[in-house]
């Protein structure tokens, strides 16, 4: 396997001449999230978030790590943007920390707002497209204390937050994304407790999801009114489920896996309904839906962000659901996730056939974690290079089949706080030494920069 990966890594960014990657209008960028890189958790009026609370609880995060310092991006943002510029990327996806920009009464925190204004202004000076996520999981703790996403009122508070940000930052954002991966916020945060706020109840998960999607739907018209030139969308993480056998029961199990991972989010957004199969899988968990909610949730989108990482092989649990059956002999990342680019191709092709209202797509996250080390000043991340090559080839194949994909963002710009896995798992194309905060381009970053320089020269 190592020799195969090295061979794939050699020419990762030398795609065929007819590849969409050569098109200047196909965006290639890098992505981050506020809590994972910013640090400065108590500076300039920032309030506590649910992740500050959760990561401080013993046993919740690997090695007891927290995002209190992270990559210290809040204080090192200028040099980080110079680093980003050196990659020659077209666009940068970042998130705003809700607890940094508003106080408990909803009044703006000017110091926090000024940070993002400076950041976005410098990105525009550098000629980069700006993709901004409003909610990447860091709910202000004071809102969680009032019930969090189980409380319908938080959807209204999110609309207020979207109103403030789109008024303050109008003209500096090319694309607004309301939520990042509501599946993770709802299921991991409220369904099984693996993420903040750490609750574990099936009914909590479906109700939290409804309020997350309602918040999204309420925010879209606000964003349109305040910043009409920008694009508006949402980011969903998708998962490929494959049956462990050809039996009808296992095929049904794979279908149900994709219902709860994909259709749970995409059906309300693009069809205005929840999938009926969801409540076959999770009986008795129907959320409280008020009149007009589904119409609000299904507000037209300018684009859909898609995050993809791996597939899950499943079999029937003998009842109404599925259970995972890990495959042997497959390539896996440091996260233990199978490398399976065909899953991205299959899902995107299927969505194009299933959803008549499917908007243009950006791949807003794709990447892998590996145990990277700096040796003699260099980081040879051959597996990541091969991973990126294969997934970009899958994206190109889907484009040629007629799916409207406008760009691709590698996750992540730099190593960072990987939620419940702390700092052990490294997703970045730039290595971060957390003791010294030194940044080092990995080989993958060098190849990305080289390809994009060559593409610019051809334009």
Q: What's the half-sphere exposure (Cβ side, CA atoms, 13 Å) at 239?
A: 22
Number of domains the chain contains = 1
Q: Measured between alpha carbons, how far is 186 from 338 in angstroms, rounded to an integer?
A: 24
Q: What is the pLDDT of residue 9?
A: 47
Domain carrying residue 306: 2-458
Determine contact, residues 267/275, Cβ cutoff 8 Å.
yes
CATH code, 84 = 3.20.20.80
Query: What pTM was estimated for this model as a whole?
Result: 0.97
Q: Measured between alpha carbons, how far is 415 from 423 in angstroms, rounded to an integer?
A: 8
Burial class (CB in 10 A: 0-12, 13-18, 19+), 18: exposed
Q: What is the pLDDT of residue 8?
A: 45
Low-confidence ranges of the chain (pLDDT < 70): 1-13
Determine contact, residues 38/416, Cβ cutoff 8 Å.
no
Q: What is the pLDDT of residue 17?
A: 87
Q: What is the pLDDT of residue 120?
A: 98
Active-site annotation holds for 353: no
Task: State whether the Cα torsion 300-305-307-312 is positive or negative.
Answer: positive
Catalytic annotation, pick one of 38, 365, 397, 418: 365
Show the tokens assigned to 302: 């300018």
Task: State whether the Cα torsion 338-342-348-349 is positive or negative.
Answer: negative
């Amino acid at each position: 396997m190592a020799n195969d990966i090295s061979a794939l890594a050699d020419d990762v960014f030398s795609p065929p001449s007819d590849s969409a990657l050569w098109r200047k209008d196909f965006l290639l960028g890098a992505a981050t999230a506020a809590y994972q890189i910013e640090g400065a958790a108590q500076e300039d009026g920032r309030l506590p978030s649910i992740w500050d609370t959760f990561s401080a609880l013993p046993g919740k995060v690997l090695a007891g790590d927290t995002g209190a310092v992270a990559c210290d991006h809040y204080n090192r943002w200028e040099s980080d943007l110079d680093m980003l510029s050196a990659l020659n990327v077209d666009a940068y996806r970042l998130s705003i920390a809700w607890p940094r920009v508003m106080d408990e009464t909803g009044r703006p925190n000017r110091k926090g707002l000024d940070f993002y204004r400076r950041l976005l202004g410098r990105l525009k000076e550098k000629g980069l497209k700006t993709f901004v996520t409003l909610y990447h999981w860091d709910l202000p703790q004071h809102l969680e204390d009032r019930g969090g996403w189980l409380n319908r009122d938080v959807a209204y508070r999110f609309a207020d937050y979207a109103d403030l940000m789109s008024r303050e930052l109008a003209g500096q954002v090319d694309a607004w994304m309301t939520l990042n991966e509501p599946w993770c916020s709802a299921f991991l945060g409220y369904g099984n407790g693996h993420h903040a706020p750490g609750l574990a109840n099936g009914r909590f998960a479906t109700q939290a999801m409804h309020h997350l999607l309602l918040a999204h739907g309420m925010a879209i018209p606000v964003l349109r009114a305040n910043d009409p030139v920008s694009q508006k969308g949402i980011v969903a993480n998708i998962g490929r489920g494959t049956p462990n056998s050809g039996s009808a029961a296992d095929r049904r199990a794979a279908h149900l896996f994709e219902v709860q991972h994909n259709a749970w989010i995409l059906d309300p957004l693009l069809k205005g309904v929840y999938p009926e199969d969801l409540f076959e899988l999770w009986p008795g968990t129907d959320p409280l839906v008020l009149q007009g909610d589904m119409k609000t949730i299904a507000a037209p989108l300018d684009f859909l962000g898609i995050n993809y990482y791996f597939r899950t092989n499943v079999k029937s649990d003998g009842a109404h659901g599925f259970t995972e059956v890990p495959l042997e002999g497959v390539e896996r990342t440091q996260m233990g996730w199978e490398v399976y680019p065909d899953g991205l191709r299959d899902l995107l092709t299927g969505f194009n056939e299933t959803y008549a209202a499917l908007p243009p797509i950006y791949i807003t996250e794709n990447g892998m974690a590996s145990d990277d080390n700096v040796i003699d000043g260099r980081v040879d991340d051959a597996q990541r290079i091969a991973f990126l090559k294969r997934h970009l080839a899958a994206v190109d194949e889907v484009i040629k089949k007629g799916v409207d994909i406008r760009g691709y963002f590698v996750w992540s710009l730099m190593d960072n706080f990987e939620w419940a896995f702390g700092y052990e798992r490294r997703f970045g194309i730039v290595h971060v030494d957390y003791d010294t905060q030194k940044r080092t381009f990995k080989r993958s970053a060098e190849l990305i920069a080289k390809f994009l320089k060559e593409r610019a020269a051809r334009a």
